[in-house]
Amino acid sequence: MAEVLKERNEMDPKYQWDLSSLYKNDEEWEKDFAEMDELIAKTASFEGKLKDAKTVREFLDTQNELTGKLENVAGYASLRRSEDTRAQKAQIMWSKAYGKIVQATTALSFAEPEFLSLPEEILAELVKDPLLKDYAFNLEKILRMKPHTLSAAEERLLAGFGEVLGAPGEIASNLMDADLLFDDVTDKDGKTVEVNDSNYILLQSSEDRVLRENSFRSYYKGYKNHINTFAATYAANVKAMTAEAKARHYGSSREMSLYESNIPLEVYDQLIAAVHRHMPAMYRYVDLRKRLLGLDQLHYYDVYAPLTKGSDDKYTYEEAQKMVLDAVAPLGENYVNVVKEGLENRWIDVYPNKGKTGGAFSAGTYDSNPVILTNFTGTLDSVSTIAHEMGHSMHTWHSKTHQPRQYADYTMFVAEVASTVNENLMIEQLLQKESDPEKRLVLLEQYLENFKGTVYRQTMFAEFEKEAHALAEKGEALDPVSLNNLYEGLVKEYFGEEMVIDPEVQYEWARIPHFYSPFYVYVYATGYSSAVALSEGIMKKGEPARKRYIEFLSMGGSRYPLDELKHAGVDLTTPEPVDIALTKFEKVLEEAEKLAAQLGK
C-alpha cells in the first residue's frame, strides 16, 4: 500500500501557521477586498494633478495606503492557496486578488509618466522639497527610470496586459503543484512509495539507491509527458519580458531586470566567470561523492544521496527549534528573542500535507508578522531550511520595524543574504561542537551541499536564463529541443565527466519555478557569497560586525542594495566576494577529503 500524505484538516493545528495577524478569517479578508475598488478609485483620482509638492505628497500617501491594503489582500490569498493548491475557495480568492493587482496597476500607471513629464527644473525642486522628504529616495529612483518610462497611455496599455503576461507562470505553477501526477514506485524491498513534489528531494536523499533511481525516473517522466506545455509556458514568459524590455528601450531583458536595483550587468557576468574559474573544485567534489558512495558510476539521482553513515539522523521539530536558537545566538539577545517569538507563536507551517505547495518560503506584510512555509521531514537539511527561512523572516521583521511602509521592502538582490547567514552560523556552530570524524564529515557534507546548491547550481540556472533569453532576443525558437539541449549542456559543464548524465536530466529546467521570475536565481549565489563573508565576520569580529549586520537588516529598501551590502562590509562590484566564498568551499572540501582518507573511504 502506498505511503500517502494527510489532508490538511487531519494535521495538528499547532504545527500550522497562524495567519490571524493578517486576517482573522476569510470573512475579514472579504470585507477588506470589498473596499479595494473605492481605494483604487481614490488613488486614481490624482491623475492630471501631480504638479506641486502638496498634491504629490497626498498622492504618495494614498498610494502607500493602497499598496499596503493590496499587499494584505494578495498576501493572505496567496498563503491560503499555498496551504492546499487544490482548494477551490483559495484558488478563487487568489484569482480575485491577482485581478485586483492588475486593476490597481493599470489605474495607477499614469503616475510615473505624469510625474516625469514635468519640466526638469520642477522635478529637481520636488525631489528636494521638505514636504516630500519621506519619499525622497523613491522619487530619485523614479527619476532614474525616466529613459525607460513610457507615456501615460502606453504605461496604462502595458499594465492592462499584466494578468495576461503573468499567465504563463500561473499555468506552469498550477500544472506543477496541482495537476502533475507521478507514478508510484517501489524501493529495494518492493514496498510501494508515492512520488510527489513535496517528497521528491527526500526520496532523492534516501540511502536506498533503487528508490532514488525509481523516483528520479518517475518524477521526470511526469515532466517529460508535459514538456511541450512547459516549453510553451516558459517561451511565452521569456517573450513577454523581451518584448517589454524592447518597448522600454533596454538593451536586453537582463538589463531591464537588473536596472531598477541599480545592479550593473558586470555583477551578473562576474559571478558566472568566478564560478567557472572554480569549476575544478566542483569536479573534485563530484569525485569525492562518487568515492564515498562506493560507486563505479555516479548518476544524477546520486546527487542528494547521503555520503556518510549516520547522515540519515532525524530530528524532531522541537529539536530543530533549539538548534535554530543556538545557531543565531551570535546575532545578539534581541535577535534571538524575536526568533523565539516566531517559533512559539506559530509563524511556521511545518509539515507537508496533500496539495500543499512544495519547498519553503517566508512571507508576510507590513501589517502582519512574518510567516514561514516549510515541508519539514526531520533531516538536517530541513532543520537548516528553518534557519534559512527564519533569516528571511528576521530581515522582514527588522525592515518593517525600522522603516516606513514605503521603504520596508528590501530588494531581491539582498533577499538571500540574511537567510544564508543563518544557515552558515548553524553549520559553523555544529562543526565547532563536533570532534568525531564520522559525524564531522556529515556536517562538512552539509556545508558542501549548501555551496553546491546555492552557488554552483544557482549560477548554472542563471547561465541558463542568460542564454535562453539571449536566444529569444536573437529570434531563435525556445522549443523543447533547444531548451533541453541548453540545460543538458550546462549540467555537463558544471558537474564534469565523473557524472553520468541520464536522459531525464534534460527536463529538469521545467521544474524550476524561479525561471518565471526572470533573472532572480543569480541573487542566491551572490547572496550566499555575501553571507559567507558576513557570517565569518560576525563570528571572528563580534560586536562591530554584528552591529553593521543588524543595521543592514534594518535598511529595508531605503538604499540601493549594493550600497546596503557595502555598509555591512561586502563589495559585490568586484569579483572578490565570490572568489572568497569559493575559496572557503575549497577549504571545506579539502578537510572533507582528508577526513574521508582518514576513515578509509
pLDDT digits (tens, 9 = 90+) for 165-220: 888 988 998 888 888 999 999 999 999 999 998 889 889 989 999 999 999 999 99
- CATH code: domain of residue 121: 1.20.140.70
pLDDT class of 599 with cuts at 50, 70, 90: confident
Q: Is the pLDDT of residue 359 over 90?
A: no
For residue 51, being part of any structural domain is answered with yes
pLDDT class of 309 with cuts at 50, 70, 90: low
pLDDT class of 42 with cuts at 50, 70, 90: very high
C-alpha closest to that of 345 among 1, 14, 11: 14
Q: What is the pLDDT of residue 471?
A: 96
Residue 5: other Cβ atoms inside 10 A: 18
Backbone torsions φ then ψ of 188, nearest 5 degrees: -65, -20
Please answer whether residues 518 and 257 qualify as being in contact, where contact means their C-beta atoms are separated by less than 8 angstroms. Answer: yes
pLDDT in tens, 508-563: 999 999 999 999 899 999 999 999 989 988 998 989 999 999 999 999 999 999 99
Q: What is the pLDDT of residue 2?
A: 42
Q: What is the pLDDT of residue 308?
A: 73
Mean pLDDT (whole number) for 419-444? 91
Please answer whether residues 349 and 373 qualify as being in contact, where contact means their C-beta atoms are separated by less than 8 angstroms. Answer: yes
At 107, is the secondary structure helix, strand, or coil? helix
For residue 88, being part of any structural domain is answered with yes
Mean pLDDT of the chain: 93
pLDDT in tens, 129-149: 999 999 999 999 988 988 898
Q: Is the pLDDT of residue 150 over 90?
A: no
Q: Is the pLDDT of residue 585 over 60?
A: yes
Kindly give, in sequence order, each residue whose CB lies less than 8 Å from that of residue 498, ignoring residues fewer than 6 positions away: 283, 286, 287, 290, 298
Burial of 371 from C-beta contacts in 10 A (0-12 / 13-18 / 19+): buried
User: Using CA atoms, how far apart are residues 133 and 56, in angstroms rounded to an integer?
Assistant: 12
Burial of 495 from C-beta contacts in 10 A (0-12 / 13-18 / 19+): buried
Q: To the nearest whole percent, how much of the chain has pLDDT over 90?
A: 80
For residue 78, being part of any structural domain is answered with yes
pLDDT class of 163 with cuts at 50, 70, 90: confident
Active site (catalytic) residues = 389
* Pairing mode, strands 499-500 and 371-373: unpaired
> For the chain, how many structural domains are there in total?
1
Task: Give the up-direction half-sphere exposure of residue 255: CA atoms within 13 A in the CB hemisphere.
Answer: 14
Range of the domain at 91: 19-165
Q: Is the pLDDT of residue 4 over 80?
A: no
Kindly give, in sequence order, each residue whose CB lies less than 8 Å from that of residue 553, ignoring residues fewer than 6 positions away: 394, 395, 398, 399, 418
For residue 286, being part of any structural domain is answered with no
For residue 355, being part of any structural domain is answered with no
Q: Is the pLDDT of residue 1 over 70?
A: no
Q: What is the pLDDT of residue 49?
A: 96
Q: What is the pLDDT of residue 121?
A: 87
pLDDT class of 310 with cuts at 50, 70, 90: low
Q: What is the pLDDT of residue 3?
A: 52
pLDDT in tens, 443-461: 998 899 889 999 999 999 9
DSSP symbols for 284-348: HHHHHHHHHHT-SSEEGGGTTS--STTTT----HHHHHHHHHHHTGGG-HHHHHHHHHHHHTT-E
Computed from CA positions of residues 466, 471, 477, 483, in that sequence, does the dihedral angle turn out positive or negative? negative
Q: What is the pLDDT of residue 312?
A: 66
List alpha helices for 434-521, DSSP H: 437-451, 457-473, 480-495
Q: What is the pLDDT of residue 418?
A: 95
For residue 594, being part of any structural domain is answered with no
pLDDT in tens, 230-266: 999 999 999 999 999 999 999 999 999 999 899 999 9
